[in-house]
Structures are given as C-alpha cells and as structure tokens.
Amino acid sequence: MKNSRVRTLLLTAVFTLLGFLVMGYHPGIEDDGVYLSAVKADVLPALYPHDSDFFRLQLQATSFDRWIAWSVDISRIPIPWVELIWQLLSLFTILAAAYAVADRLFDDDFVKWAGVALLAAMLTLPVAGTALSIADQHLHPRNIATALILLAVTRIMAGKPLHAVPLLLLAVVMHPIMAGFGISFCVVLALIATEPVHAWLQSWRGSMAAAMPLGWIFERPSPTWREALQMKRYYFLFQWTWYEWLGAVGPLVLFWLLHRWARGQGKIALARFALSVVIYGVSLLAVAVMMLTPPSLVRLTPLQPMRFLHLIYVFLALMTGCLVGNYLVKTSVWRWAVFLLVTCGGMLVTQRMLFASSPHLEMPWMSPGNAWLQAFAWIRENTLRDAYFALDPQYLEAPGEDAHGFRALAERSALADAVKDTAVVTQVPRLAPIWSRQVHAADGWSHFQLADFERLKGQFAVDWALVAYPARAGLDCRWHNDSLAVCRIP
C-alpha cells in the first residue's frame, strides 16, 4: 500500500511537471495584473499610492492576496518564487484529486492515468464563451479554488461529505463565485443517489444564494459602468456565437450519453457521477438564462453565471482521457507515446502562438523576455515607488505585449487601462466614473504631443510616461529600447 501511494505521488508529480511545461508560465498576465499587484501591495504597502482601488476593491471578497503575502512573510522567500511554488502545488493538487475521482469510477490503473494525462495536457483548454481555461498560466485564486473543490468532490465520492465542508469553505475564501459552483455540484453529487430532483432544487437555490450578498446588484447602472460592461462581450449570453453555444450544451449531451452507456454497462458509480454533472449543468444553465435575460437584472451580468461550465470542462477532460485510455491507448507504449505527443504537442503549439513574443516559461531567474517587460523592469528598478505613469490605455493589446500587466510587473501606479480594468469596473461599479475619466483623457494616445502629456500631468498628477520610441519632442526620456521609451513629463 505504501509503495502504491509513493508511486501515485511520483506519477502525479510527473504529470504536473508535464502539464506545467505544456501550459507555460506567465506571471503578471491578464487577471494576474490585478492579483499580483494586490499581493505586492500587501507585502510592500508603500507601493501604488495612486489608483490602487483598481485592484484592491475587487479583492475584498477573497483572502487570496493576503494568503500569498502571509506565505512570503513566513517563508522569507521572494514573491516570484512563492507564486511559482503555489502554482505548482495547485496544479499538483488538481491532478491528484482528478486521479482520486477516476479511481472511484474506473478499475484499471492505466485508464485512470490516461484521464490524468489528458487533463494535464488540456489545462489551458478554453471553456466555451467564458474567457476561462481549465487552469491559468499564472497563479490565480481560481486554480487554488479548483484544487479545493476537486478535493471536496473526492471526499463526497468516498462517502465522507463532512470532510468536504472545510475544503469548500476554504474555496469560498479563495474565490467565492467559483466556490459557489463547486458547492452546487457537491450538493448534487451527494444527493443524486437517492433524491436527484431534490438535489436539482438544492443546486439551483445554492447558486442564487451565492449571488445575493452583493448589494451593488440592486443599484441603478450608471452610463460609465455600462460602457465598461459592453467591452466584455463574453458576459452576454445572447451575444455568444453558435460554436460557443455548442461548447456549452455539447458537454452536457456527452455526459448524458456517458450516463446512459455506464448504466447499460452496470457501472453504477460512473452513471451516477455523469448524471450529477448533467443535473448540475442543466440547472445552472437555466439559472444563467434567467439571470442574463431580463434587462432589469443587468447588474447580475458581471457574476458570469455561465462560468459553471469550468467544472464541467475539468470533468470532460478527465472522463475523455479515461475513455481514450480504456479503448485506444490501453497498455501499449507506442500508443501512449502518440497520445501524449498529439495532446501535449497540440496544446504547446497553441500556447506558443498565444504568447509568441514572450518566453514560454517566464521563470523568476530569467531576464525580461520582450521589449515591454524590459521597460517594466527598468521602471521597477530605476524610478521611485511613488512614480505615477501614463501609458496607452490599449497597451495590453499592443503587438508583442502579450497581456502583461504594468502595475503588477513595473510595480508602479498607472492610469486606468481600457482592457483589463474594465473587468474590475464591472465588479466594482463605483470605479466607473474614475475609469472613464482616465481612459478618455488618453484618447488619441498615438498622436499625443508634449502639450497632451502636460495636460495629463495637470489633470491627474502623472509624472512619467511609457511611450513608443522615438518619443515626442520635449519629453525627458531616461531609457529606451528599440520599441519603447520611459520619459518624465516636464
């Protein structure tokens, strides 16, 4: 038994490393522009004297940043290393829990590991229409919450539902919305064997209750909040394309077919598990439609109820891998080689295309990997902590930028952007007027002259600018590379 556990841990570690190498590692990108900024502000309170509300307020409902900051304080390990360690631990736990789920549903060991292998390869699989993937290429509270939810699922499948409670509570602390989905699924899973209809109703009610504490839902939407909301098309269910709808409904059909097949084969545990996924998915899809259809409930849109699909996609990858292992790969070495080459190779190529201007693994010991990161590094090391920057509001979508957040990586305050900060504004409506004023003050950025930079300085007290090189005449530029210049505004 002990040797079996050691073997399981070692194989899980191997697939964790494989998944990490396939998905890549990009701290500071996308959502991490918010989360990493908050962590750094907790560790170094002198950072971000301006506009810190653009990351602080969104994190009021989670303890993620304080947990990571506490890890830094206790371990005395630098933030980049702590984030890397937690990322690897999160991925390891996700895969370990996935193996435990497969272990309850299948008999053959190679079948279970095929499921884990496919999940590891597909960690960056997009979840239809939600702007999510199964796991993020940086440390995200959703990664930790997913690991905790899957551990809770294993406890319920083991017949120990009380053990799931503290795990789900920890998930709530990390990511309340994703935890709400996890709780709903766990309720369905726990009750499906005897009371499927009751489980359905409980899932429905639990999902709605998770949304109620957010009092801003009932406030009248402002024009600036609506402007930020409209920039996130994936929030709107009825603006989804046909293939996004297929990605939402298709997995439910597949799990229904799996339920029917498993029941016919006498695989009771697998049949009940698949039915749990179907009931969970159908009921939360109904809730999402009800939440997102009436114009009067537009305030509910930022809760993104369609993100219930995230957990379904985790199970979809796991179950698909198990079935591939059972019917195609089996114990053949060369079939395993082809299976891993195709799945891992395909996802690796996709990730390299997404982040073509950055190293695939942006590790703590590496030098900055593109022109933007070089500029951020110079700013971090050569400007005062109270420096306040202006830069193109669309910079996150600039060629070669690869969605790296300025605040998180340059560690300096900056005016609001028109890409990532919009998501923050939809979650914290009172930031909308500030966001709109700052973003629109930088309209026409590519044509700015010295007078425009001086206007920004007078309006917002910004004293630095990150601009395209060569810079406009009159700016006091202190550094540049082939693409960018860091300049003081006179």
Tell me the DSSP string of 366-411.
SPP-SHHHHHHHHHHHHS-TT-EEEE-TTGGGSTTTTTB-HHHHH-
Q: What is the pLDDT of residue 203?
A: 46
Is residue 468 classed exposed, middle or buried when 0-12, 13-18 and 19+ CB atoms within 10 A define those classes? middle
Q: What is the pLDDT of residue 306?
A: 77
Q: Is residue 308 part of a domain?
A: yes
Query: Is residue 331 located within the same domain as residue 460?
Result: no
Query: Is residue 73 located within the same domain as residue 162?
Result: yes
Q: What is the pLDDT of residue 210?
A: 41
Q: What is the pLDDT of residue 180?
A: 92
Query: Is residue 302 located within the same domain as residue 395?
Result: no
Query: Is residue 404 located within the same domain as residue 300?
Result: no
Distance of CA 477 to the CA centre of its chain: 36
Q: What is the pLDDT of residue 5?
A: 87
| Per-residue tokens: 366 | 């590496």
Question: Tokens 């973003």, residue?
Answer: 439
d(CA 10, CA 281): 34
Q: What is the pLDDT of residue 248?
A: 79
Q: Is residue 184 part of a domain?
A: yes
Query: Is residue 70 located within the same domain as residue 132?
Result: yes
Query: Is residue 333 located within the same domain as residue 375?
Result: no
Closest by Cα among 448, 374, 458, 456 to 415: 456
d(CA 448, CA 446): 6
Query: Is residue 6 located within the same domain as residue 125?
Result: yes
* pLDDT tens digits, one per residue of 414-440: 999 988 888 777 777 788 889 899 999
Q: What is the pLDDT of residue 237?
A: 55
Q: What is the pLDDT of residue 230?
A: 47
Domain, as residue range, for 340: 2-354
Q: Is residue 359 part of a domain?
A: no
* pLDDT tens digits, one per residue of 470-482: 999 999 999 999 9
3-class secondary structure, 357: coil
Query: Is residue 311 located within the same domain as residue 391?
Result: no
Choose one of 293, 325, 354: the last residue of a domain.
354
pTM higher than the cut 0.85: yes
Give just the sign of the alpha carbon dihedral 475, 479, 484, 486.
negative
Q: What is the pLDDT of residue 432?
A: 85
Closest by Cα among 227, 217, 365 to 294: 217
Residue 425, phi then psi, degrees to nearest 5: -65, -40
d(CA 88, CA 138): 10
Query: Is residue 290 located within the same domain as residue 412?
Result: no
Q: What is the pLDDT of residue 218?
A: 43
3-class secondary structure, 280: helix
Spans in the chain with pLDDT lower than 70: 1-2, 193-240, 242, 245, 290-304
Query: Is residue 385 located within the same domain as residue 341?
Result: no
| DSSP string of 288-355, one letter each residue | HHHHHSSGGGGGGGGG-GGGGHHHHHHHHHHHHHHHHIIIIITT-HHHHHHHHHHHHHHHHHHHHHHT
Q: Is residue 365 part of a domain?
A: no
Total of domains in the chain: 2
d(CA 418, CA 400): 17
Q: Is residue 81 part of a domain?
A: yes
Q: Is residue 85 part of a domain?
A: yes
Choose one of 312, 328, 354: the last residue of a domain.
354
From first CA to last CA, the distance across the chain in angstroms is 71
Closest by Cα among 115, 144, 79 to 322: 115
Cα dihedral 411, 412, 418, 419 in deg (nearest 10):
0
Q: What is the pLDDT of residue 291?
A: 63
Pairing of strands 464-468, 484-488: antiparallel
Q: Are 118 and 326 in contact (CB under 8 A)?
A: no
Query: What value does the CA radius of gyration of the chain take, rounded to a whole number of Å?
Result: 24
Distance of CA 21 to the CA centre of its chain: 18
Q: Is residue 229 part of a domain?
A: yes
Query: Is residue 181 located within the same domain as residue 268?
Result: yes
Q: Is residue 270 part of a domain?
A: yes
Query: Is residue 340 located within the same domain as residue 420?
Result: no
**How far are the Cα atoms of 185, 212, 301, 466 from residue 217, in angstroms, in the given order?**
24, 8, 9, 37
Contacts of 112 (CB under 8 A, 6+ apart): 99, 102, 103, 106, 322, 325
d(CA 298, CA 426): 11
Choose one of 323, 354, 385: the last residue of a domain.
354
